[in-house]
Amino acid sequence: MKKVDSEVKSFLGIKSLDEDHDAIFNYIEQLQALVNEPKNHEYAIGILERLLAFFLAHVIKEEQQLQQYLPTNIVKEHILQHQDELDYLDESIISLKVKISSNNIQTIVDQLNQEFKNHIYRYDRNIMQKIIKIQNSKH
Protein backbone atom coordinates (compact mmCIF):
# COMPACT_ATOMS: atom_id res chain seq x y z
CA MET A 1 0.00 0.00 0.00
CA LYS A 2 2.78 2.37 0.94
CA LYS A 3 4.56 1.66 -2.33
CA VAL A 4 1.45 2.51 -4.34
CA ASP A 5 1.08 5.77 -2.42
CA SER A 6 4.58 6.89 -3.24
CA GLU A 7 4.14 5.97 -6.92
CA VAL A 8 0.95 7.98 -7.15
CA LYS A 9 2.64 10.90 -5.45
CA SER A 10 5.54 10.77 -7.81
CA PHE A 11 3.28 10.52 -10.86
CA LEU A 12 1.39 13.57 -9.62
CA GLY A 13 4.71 15.30 -9.03
CA ILE A 14 5.80 14.79 -12.62
CA LYS A 15 2.37 15.82 -13.89
CA SER A 16 2.55 19.04 -11.91
CA LEU A 17 6.04 19.77 -13.29
CA ASP A 18 4.61 19.33 -16.79
CA GLU A 19 1.84 21.80 -16.02
CA ASP A 20 4.48 24.26 -14.82
CA HIS A 21 6.31 23.84 -18.14
CA ASP A 22 3.15 24.81 -20.02
CA ALA A 23 2.76 27.84 -17.76
CA ILE A 24 6.34 28.94 -18.52
CA PHE A 25 5.59 29.01 -22.26
CA ASN A 26 2.42 30.89 -21.47
CA TYR A 27 4.45 33.68 -19.84
CA ILE A 28 6.65 33.85 -22.95
CA GLU A 29 3.53 34.12 -25.15
CA GLN A 30 2.28 37.00 -23.01
CA LEU A 31 5.59 38.77 -23.62
CA GLN A 32 5.39 38.10 -27.35
CA ALA A 33 1.91 39.65 -27.43
CA LEU A 34 3.31 42.88 -25.96
CA VAL A 35 5.94 43.40 -28.66
CA ASN A 36 3.51 45.19 -30.97
CA GLU A 37 1.77 47.16 -28.24
CA PRO A 38 4.11 50.06 -27.40
CA LYS A 39 1.61 51.47 -24.90
CA ASN A 40 1.88 48.30 -22.84
CA HIS A 41 5.64 47.75 -23.05
CA GLU A 42 6.13 48.59 -19.40
CA TYR A 43 4.17 45.43 -18.46
CA ALA A 44 6.98 43.34 -19.93
CA ILE A 45 9.08 43.88 -16.80
CA GLY A 46 6.25 42.65 -14.53
CA ILE A 47 5.71 39.57 -16.70
CA LEU A 48 9.41 38.74 -16.56
CA GLU A 49 9.49 39.24 -12.79
CA ARG A 50 6.54 36.88 -12.39
CA LEU A 51 8.16 34.36 -14.70
CA LEU A 52 11.34 34.54 -12.62
CA ALA A 53 9.41 33.92 -9.36
CA PHE A 54 7.41 31.12 -10.97
CA PHE A 55 10.49 29.47 -12.44
CA LEU A 56 12.29 29.66 -9.10
CA ALA A 57 9.42 27.84 -7.37
CA HIS A 58 9.34 25.33 -10.23
CA VAL A 59 13.03 24.46 -10.06
CA ILE A 60 12.82 23.88 -6.30
CA LYS A 61 10.04 21.31 -6.90
CA GLU A 62 11.86 19.77 -9.83
CA GLU A 63 15.16 19.48 -7.99
CA GLN A 64 13.40 17.73 -5.08
CA GLN A 65 12.08 15.11 -7.51
CA LEU A 66 15.50 14.65 -9.05
CA GLN A 67 17.22 14.29 -5.69
CA GLN A 68 14.79 11.56 -4.79
CA TYR A 69 15.61 9.38 -7.78
CA LEU A 70 18.77 10.32 -9.64
CA PRO A 71 22.52 10.16 -8.92
CA THR A 72 24.10 13.27 -7.43
CA ASN A 73 26.20 14.15 -10.47
CA ILE A 74 23.15 14.29 -12.77
CA VAL A 75 21.25 16.36 -10.20
CA LYS A 76 24.16 18.78 -9.76
CA GLU A 77 24.53 19.27 -13.49
CA HIS A 78 20.84 20.03 -13.84
CA ILE A 79 20.88 22.48 -10.93
CA LEU A 80 23.61 24.41 -12.77
CA GLN A 81 21.40 24.57 -15.85
CA HIS A 82 18.60 26.00 -13.73
CA GLN A 83 21.02 28.58 -12.40
CA ASP A 84 21.88 29.61 -15.98
CA GLU A 85 18.20 30.13 -16.82
CA LEU A 86 17.68 32.14 -13.63
CA ASP A 87 20.71 34.30 -14.47
CA TYR A 88 19.36 34.89 -17.95
CA LEU A 89 15.97 35.94 -16.58
CA ASP A 90 17.70 38.31 -14.16
CA GLU A 91 19.78 39.88 -16.93
CA SER A 92 16.70 40.27 -19.13
CA ILE A 93 14.86 42.17 -16.41
CA ILE A 94 17.85 44.46 -15.91
CA SER A 95 18.22 45.10 -19.63
CA LEU A 96 14.52 46.00 -19.98
CA LYS A 97 14.81 48.36 -17.05
CA VAL A 98 17.63 50.13 -18.86
CA LYS A 99 15.85 50.29 -22.20
CA ILE A 100 12.44 49.08 -23.21
CA SER A 101 11.56 48.77 -26.89
CA SER A 102 9.89 46.36 -29.32
CA ASN A 103 13.31 45.21 -30.43
CA ASN A 104 14.54 44.48 -26.93
CA ILE A 105 11.41 42.61 -25.95
CA GLN A 106 11.51 40.57 -29.17
CA THR A 107 15.16 39.67 -28.63
CA ILE A 108 14.35 38.48 -25.11
CA VAL A 109 11.32 36.51 -26.30
CA ASP A 110 13.39 34.79 -28.99
CA GLN A 111 16.13 33.89 -26.56
CA LEU A 112 13.71 32.73 -23.85
CA ASN A 113 11.95 30.51 -26.37
CA GLN A 114 15.25 29.01 -27.43
CA GLU A 115 16.50 28.54 -23.86
CA PHE A 116 13.32 27.04 -22.46
CA LYS A 117 12.53 24.84 -25.47
CA ASN A 118 16.00 23.41 -25.19
CA HIS A 119 15.81 23.06 -21.40
CA ILE A 120 12.29 21.64 -21.15
CA TYR A 121 12.00 19.54 -24.30
CA ARG A 122 15.51 18.20 -24.16
CA TYR A 123 16.94 18.13 -20.64
CA ASP A 124 13.79 18.01 -18.48
CA ARG A 125 12.16 15.45 -20.75
CA ASN A 126 15.26 13.29 -20.65
CA ILE A 127 15.37 13.46 -16.87
CA MET A 128 11.66 12.68 -16.45
CA GLN A 129 12.10 9.62 -18.68
CA LYS A 130 14.96 8.46 -16.47
CA ILE A 131 12.80 8.85 -13.35
CA ILE A 132 9.89 6.96 -14.92
CA LYS A 133 12.26 4.17 -15.99
CA ILE A 134 13.66 3.87 -12.45
CA GLN A 135 10.15 3.75 -11.00
CA ASN A 136 9.05 1.06 -13.46
CA SER A 137 12.10 -1.08 -12.77
CA LYS A 138 11.20 -1.14 -9.07
CA HIS A 139 7.97 -3.07 -9.72
Q: How many CB atoms lie within 10 A of CB 116?
A: 20
- Which residue's CB is nearer to Fe ion, number 96 or number 124? 124
Residues with Cβ within 8 Å of residue 62, at least 6 apart in sequence: 17, 20, 82, 124
Task: Supply the minimum distance, in Å, between the C-beta of residue 128 and Fe ion.
Answer: 9
Sole binder of Fe ion in the list 48, 108, 124, 131 (CB under 5 A): 124
CB of 78 to Fe ion, least distance (A): 6
Minimum CB–partner distance for residue 31 and Fe ion (Å) = 18
Using CB under 5 A, list all residues that contact Fe ion: 62, 124
